[in-house]
Amino acid sequence: MHLTLHIWRQQNATSAGGFETYRVDDVLPEMSFLEMLDVLNERLTREGREPVAFDHDCREGICGMCSLVINGAPHGPDRATTTCQLHMRRFHDGETIYIEPFRATAFPVLKDLVVDRSAFDRILAAGGFITARTGSPPDANSVPVPKVDADLAMDAAACIGCGACVAACKNAAAMLFVGAKVSHLALLPQGKPERRRRALQMVQQMDAEGFGGCTNERECEAACPKGISVANIARLNREYLWASLADPE
C-alpha cells in the first residue's frame, strides 16, 4: 500500500503548528496504525530528520495512550477500537490520511501528536480514596453485591481514560470520563461512604480544568474505544445533585 499522510507537527506547547505531508510506501495491511508510523519515523531518522512524536505504551488496547485523531475521528474510523488496534487493512491503497492530536483546551499539545492529559489525573486525585480496609481478599460472598450493580460497575470501570470522549465532543466535555469514574465506585458498597464527597470534588476539579459542558449529543459514547455508555453521565448528574442537596456548601 502507498499512502499520503498529512501529520500535525508542532515543536512545543507555545509554538504554532501545522500539517506536513509525507509519502509512505510498502505499508502492509497487517500493520497496526502505530507500526505504520514507526516505519515513517525510521525513514525520517535515517534521513536525519526529526521523527513524529506520538504517545504509545502497551499497544494492546489497554492503556489508552495512543491518542490520535485520524481523518477527523478519535482513534480512527473503527468503533470500539483504540489507535494501536486499528490496522492498515482498514485503509485503501493511495488513500490520504489526516493525523492530528486530540483537540481540547484542557489537553494542551506538548509536541506533534502528544497532548498533556494530566487534567484527568488531577480529577481522579480529587476523588480521593475509599476507606474500605485493605488486607487479604475477602470471601466472594462476604459483601453481597447485586449482579446488575456489579455488571454496571464493571462496565464503567472499563474506561481507560484515553480522552477520546473529550476529543469527540464539540464542547470538549469530560462528563463521560468523570461519569464512568464516579459510577463504578458509587455502584459498589466499598465506594458508598465517600460517594457524596467524590462526586462534588471530581466535578469541581473537572470544571477547574476547563472542560466544557455536556449537551447530550453522544459523540463521546460513539468515540469511546471501550463503549462506555452515556448512562454514566446521567448517573453522575444524579450523584452530583444528591450530593449538592445533602451538602450545599
DSSP string, 203-224: HHHHHHTT-B---S--HHHHH-
Q: Where do the CATH 1.10.1060.10 domains begin and end in the chain?
A: 118-246
Q: Measured between alpha carbons, how far is 180 from 227 in angstroms, rounded to an integer?
A: 11
Architecture of domain 118-246: Orthogonal Bundle (1.10)
Residue pair 88/96 in contact by the 8 Å Cβ criterion: no
Q: Where do the CATH 3.10.20.30 domains begin and end in the chain?
A: 3-111
CATH superfamily of 3-111: Beta-grasp domain (3.10.20.30)
**Cβ contacts of 67 within 8 Å, gap of 6 or more:** 55, 74, 75, 83, 101, 102, 113, 115, 117, 162, 163, 164, 167
pLDDT of residue 248: 55
Q: Measured between alpha carbons, how far is 230 from 234 in angstroms, rounded to an integer?
A: 7
Residue pair 178/236 in contact by the 8 Å Cβ criterion: yes
pLDDT of residue 249: 53
pLDDT of residue 142: 77
Residues of the chain whose pLDDT is less than 50? Answer: none
DSSP conformational letter for 29: T
**CB neighbours of residue 25 within 10 Å:** 9
Residue with cell 489497554: 62
pLDDT of residue 166: 98
Pairing relation of β-strands 3-9 and 18-24? antiparallel
For 49, half-sphere exposure in the C-beta direction (CA atoms, 13 angstrom radius) is 11
**C-beta contacts of 231-235 below 8 A and 24+ residues apart:** 232/156, 232/176, 232/179, 232/180, 232/182, 232/183, 233/175, 233/176, 233/179, 234/179, 235/179, 235/182, 235/183, 235/186
Q: Measured between alpha carbons, how far is 136 from 6 in angstroms, rounded to an integer?
A: 53
Q: Measured between alpha carbons, how far is 203 from 213 in angstroms, rounded to an integer?
A: 11
- 71 Rama class: left (phi>0) / alpha (psi -120 to 50) / beta: left
pLDDT of residue 130: 85
